[in-house]
Amino acid sequence: MSLLIENLHATLEDGTPILNGVNLEIPAGEVHAIMGPNGSGKSTLSKVISGHESYVVTAGSVTLDGVDLLEMDIDQRSRAGVFLAFQYPAEVPGVSNANFIRAALQARLPKGQDIDAVAYYKNLYSKMDLLEMDRKFTARSVNEGFSGGEKKRNEILQLMMLEPKYSILDETDSGLDIDALKIVAKGVNAMRSPDRGFLLITHYQRLLDYIAPDYVHVMAGGQIVRSGGPELALELEQNGYDFLKELAPA
């Protein structure tokens, strides 16, 4: 079981190439981190996997446990087990957190089956307690008026409630102070299991101090150009991306 990306090419709607042959496999049970300079295609990769309409796949494949993701619309990909935590979570005025998550869970149930309200709120509150979220947030509109740290915790709350097969976290550490980072990492680590894979997109080693990856990949020019263990992130933190200059002629 894995999220498998093979020779993936994608462009913007105007034809501007962004991804230029990405190859990556994330087996269930593993955490993979992607690092790289700005404009390398990291966030684009996350959006293409999840089905963002602003990108056009021109070659390659993305499969989830052997099933073609690229043939699915956004909703189908979510139901199949793909979750994307956004770098900049959107606000949804007029829809409470509790109702938003409940509706997402209800949509995954067989027709005619309803969520047990008592069990739902018991589960929701236990996850909120782990993330140190005030229970008043259940009645507030999704992300409306939230601080940056509150939005990121809310994204992890959704992840914990939906229990996806593969979670893509796009710069979840962006804008977080150290206390908020530790709380977010605690939520992610609580979800690690042999049946779930993670793809972390980040600029900084500090996230990987709290969510230890199995593998680290460097992305540049729309491709994975280097892979290694957790020590690779430490090397990048110390030396930056100077080695990419040596790859440029190739």
Q: What is the pLDDT of residues 156-195, one digit of tens each?
A: 999 999 999 999 999 988 888 999 999 999 999 999 999 9
Mean pLDDT of the chain: 93
Q: How far apart are CA 170 and CA 3, in angstroms?
A: 16
pLDDT above 90 (res 243): no
- In CATH, what number is assigned to the domain containing residue 29? 3.40.50.300
Burial of 139 (0-12, 13-18, 19+ CB in 10 A): exposed
Q: Give the tokens for residue 162.
A: 């939906």
In this prediction, residue 175 carries a pLDDT of 82
β-bridge mates for residue 203, sequence order: none
CB 173 within 8 A of CB 191: no
Q: How many CA atoms lie within 13 A of 231 on its CB side?
A: 1
pLDDT above 80 (res 134): yes
pLDDT above 90 (res 244): no
Task: Provide the residue range defining the domain that includes 213.
Answer: 2-247
Q: Give the tokens for residue 105.
A: 């869970």
Provide the pairing of β-strand 82-85 with 31-35. unpaired
In this prediction, residue 159 carries a pLDDT of 96
Give me the number of domains the chain comprises.
1
In this prediction, residue 248 carries a pLDDT of 56
Q: What is the pLDDT of residues 56-114, one digit of tens each?
A: 999 999 999 999 999 999 999 999 999 999 888 888 999 999 999 999 999 888 888 89
- Residue 86: which of 201, 195, 229 has the closest Cα? 201
Whole-structure pTM over 0.75, yes or no? yes
Q: What is the pLDDT of residues 11-33, one digit of tens each?
A: 999 999 999 999 999 999 999 99
In this prediction, residue 250 carries a pLDDT of 44
Residue 93: other Cβ atoms inside 10 A: 9
Percentage of the chain modeled with pLDDT above 90: 82
In this prediction, residue 110 carries a pLDDT of 86
The CA-CA-CA angle for residues 36, 39, 44, to 5°, reads 90
